[in-house]
Structure 1
Amino acid sequence: MPLMPHPAPEDLRRDPLPLRGRTALVTGASRRAGIGHAVARRLAAYGASVYLHHHVPHDSAMPWGADRIEDVIASVRAALGDPGARVVAGPGDLTEPSAPAELIATATETLGGRLDILVANHALSGSDGTLDTIDATMLDAHWAVDTRSVLLLVQAYARHRATLPPRTPGGRVVMMTSGQDIASGMPGEIAYALQKGALASITRSLSTTLTENAITVNTVNPGPVDTGYATGEIYDAVAAHSPAGRWGMPDDPARLIAWLTTDEAAWITGEVINSEGGFRR
């Protein structure tokens, strides 16, 4: 059936549950203050069943501490738009080379045998420094978590989608980058900036690779988001550089990410998109 130049009027009306019947894996969704949790709530509200990946030992070692996974799950379930959808969660240490493929397999099986959406939100916090202070251990740690595991997740996800009927709709990958290539960059986080820059650079290649499987691949820079890690003078200084006079909230980038997973964004792929609210570095 040929495509029509203009959609029918009824097709212009927004579906309140654009992800009804779809399934999603969101990694790094272990804190209610985090972006992963906000993305999962949006996907659930749009009708998707969601698998929440978490790695509590990482958060436990950070100044902000770990959240109760049961509370995270309950919060996402409270947002479910489709009563027939599900929210489940499971752990995964993505520093292990075999963990990404295992996670994709577990999420796929748990969600009924098909995985439509992959949001690779996880990242390593800390273990970083300036050019003068970084070492091989820091670089290797960020490579393993921030880049290698993401690529292996995409690989395993693509292999799963290849087993489905040709051009099965709904295939979506969203990766996360940062502001490493904007203004003065991130000179105090060289290892993190390097690996996040790698994801931005590989976005177009991945999208071209996966086009024949009807999978879009996009990468989002969420900008400065208040996830509980900054306080005091640093917090005030960042807010002062935003036209809105505030930090981004987790739901700010989550709205963009969730939209990219819907059919409305089916024609957008291979893009690195900044969601910074006009933040001036």
Structure 2
Amino acid sequence: MKCALVTGASRGIGRAIAQQLSQDLNLHILINYASNKAAAEETLSLIQQAGGTGELMHFDVKDGAAVKAAVENWYTNNPEGIIHVLVNNAGITKDNLFPWVTEEDWDAVLNTSLKGMYNCTQAIIQRMLRQRSGRIINIASLSGLKGVPGQTNYSAAKGGMIAATKALSQEIAKRNITVNAIAPGFIESDMTSELDMNELKRMVPANRFGKVEEVAYLASFLASDKAAYITGEVININGGIYA
């Protein structure tokens, strides 16, 4: 059973990626969620309605022990299972100008995106190395490349994720494992629902926000055999706002 583990898959970009990987690559989807079980169940229902398969995997990416325990438990119960694709998507924002960013908000944002990527990748990397195949896709952000005022913590987290992508890709490429990052700009999702879309889209050459499905199409390509020679890349998907 070939599987994809998608963190933060209960909604938004994570949900769209989970659905697309199921549809395009016929992967069994491990739908990670931290707290919103109902939304995760909705993701699973959408996958099943489209003829795919999946299951919920509950853990908080910030908690390394919980991640390891959940993954090890899954492998114990699925000895023939292979996690071929890992999508490190889980992330949060706690926006504020730097002088007012609390240590708690700094840690929460970095521990979710950056430490979460470490925890989840560590949990599956040894088996990927042994099976000599795999795809790791890190969902970064425009913020990690350009830097966005009011998002110093988020920019730091996503910038670290991008640098780690480039380094790790070189370590494990010989085992046929690719590591790439996707850097979305303004995407219509829960995370951007409070932004002034009409005002911000004027900054975007494409004159619109992107759709979660458009990010999912790219993730699906990177997870496929068609992208086997692409690794260490950071691919922008931002309507031309930054290149």
Q: CA RMSD in A?
A: 2.3
Which stretches of structure 1, 4 residues or longer, exceed 6 Å deviation after superposition? none
Shift of 1:213: 2.1
Cα distance in 1, alignment partners of residues 125 and 32 from structure 2: 18
- Change in CA separation of 1:218 and 1:182 when aligned onto 2, cut-off 3 Å: closer
The yes-or-no answer on 1:187 pairing with 2:149 is yes
- Secondary structure of the residue that 1:53 maps to in structure 2? strand
Does the CA-based 8 Å contact 2:61-2:119 persist in structure 1? no
Does the CA-based 8 Å contact 1:30-1:56 persist in structure 2? no
1:214-259 deviations in whole A, cap 9, x for unaligned? Answer: 1100010121111134457711112222333321110011100110
1:143 aligns to what? Answer: 110
Which has the larger Rg? 1
Does the CA-based 8 Å contact 2:169-2:232 persist in structure 1? yes
Shift of 1:138: 1.9
Scaled by the length of structure 2, what TM-score is found? 0.89
Q: Does 96-105 or 270-279 show the bigger shift?
A: 96-105
Cα distance in 2, alignment partners of residues 139 and 55 from structure 1: 19
The yes-or-no answer on 1:70 pairing with 2:50 is no
Does the CA-based 8 Å contact 2:6-2:89 persist in structure 1? yes
Does the CA-based 8 Å contact 2:2-2:81 persist in structure 1? no
1:14 aligns to what? Answer: none
> Which residue identity lines up with residue 212 of structure 1 in the other structure?
K
Total equivalences in the alignment? 241
**Which one has the bigger helix percentage?**
2
Does the CA-based 8 Å contact 1:37-1:76 persist in structure 2? no
Percent of paired sites with the same residue: 27
- Aligned counterpart for 1:125 among listed residues 80, 90, 93: 93
Shift of 1:134: 1.2
- Change in CA separation of 1:120 and 1:230 when aligned onto 2, cut-off 3 Å: closer
1:82-101 deviations in whole A, cap 9, x for unaligned? Answer: xxx52111211222231232
| Unpaired segments ≥5 residues, structure 1 | 1-20, 58-65
Does the CA-based 8 Å contact 1:35-1:254 persist in structure 2? yes
| Unpaired segments ≥5 residues, structure 2 | none
2:28 aligns to what? Answer: 49
Cα distance in 1, alignment partners of residues 126 and 60 from structure 2: 21
The yes-or-no answer on 1:177 pairing with 2:140 is yes
**Which one has the bigger strand percentage?**
2
- 1:104-123 counterparts in 2 under 5 A? 104-109=71-76, 112-123=80-91
- 1:237-276 counterparts in 2 under 5 A? 237-276=199-238
- Aligned counterpart for 2:55 among listed residues 88, 106, 111: 88
- Change in CA separation of 1:75 and 1:180 when aligned onto 2, cut-off 3 Å: same
Cα distance in 2, alignment partners of residues 123 and 181 from structure 1: 13
Cα distance in 1, alignment partners of residues 242 and 138 from structure 2: 23
Cα distance in 2, alignment partners of residues 208 and 231 from structure 1: 37
Shift of 1:40: 0.6
